[in-house]
């Protein structure tokens, strides 16, 4: 299963967007986007509408 590098930002508090970069294992880029939205919602209690994903790319193999 490929590893995806996902970068973007989410609305952390009033007038402040927190930048993030995470890696996840997923079968496709769409599945990686869904995993990130779920992870940020669960860990940081951020609604999906307040997450901006700027880039989803396949991480290079080690």
- Residue 20 in any domain: the answer is no
pTM (2 d.p.): 0.87
- Residue 19 in any domain: the answer is no
- Residue 45 in any domain: the answer is yes
Q: Give the pLDDT confidence of 18-39 residue by residue, as tens digits.
A: 999 999 999 999 999 999 999 9
- Residue 21 in any domain: the answer is no
- Residue 33 in any domain: the answer is yes
Which residue segment(s) compose the domain that 38 sits in? 3-13+27-56
Burial class (CB in 10 A: 0-12, 13-18, 19+), 44: middle
Query: How many domains does the chain divide into?
Result: 1
- Residue 42 in any domain: the answer is yes
- Residue 51 in any domain: the answer is yes
- pLDDT greater than 80 at residue 11: yes
Distance CA 42, CA 58 (A): 24
- Residue 32 in any domain: the answer is yes
Burial class (CB in 10 A: 0-12, 13-18, 19+), 46: middle
């Amino acid at each position: 299963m490929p590893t995806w590098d996902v970068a973007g930002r989410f609305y952390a508090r009033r007038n402040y967007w927190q930048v993030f970069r995470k890696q996840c294992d997923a079968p496709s880029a769409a599945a990686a986007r869904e995993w990130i939205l779920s992870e940020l919602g669960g860990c940081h209690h951020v609604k999906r509408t307040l997450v901006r994903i700027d880039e989803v790319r396949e991480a290079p193999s080690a």
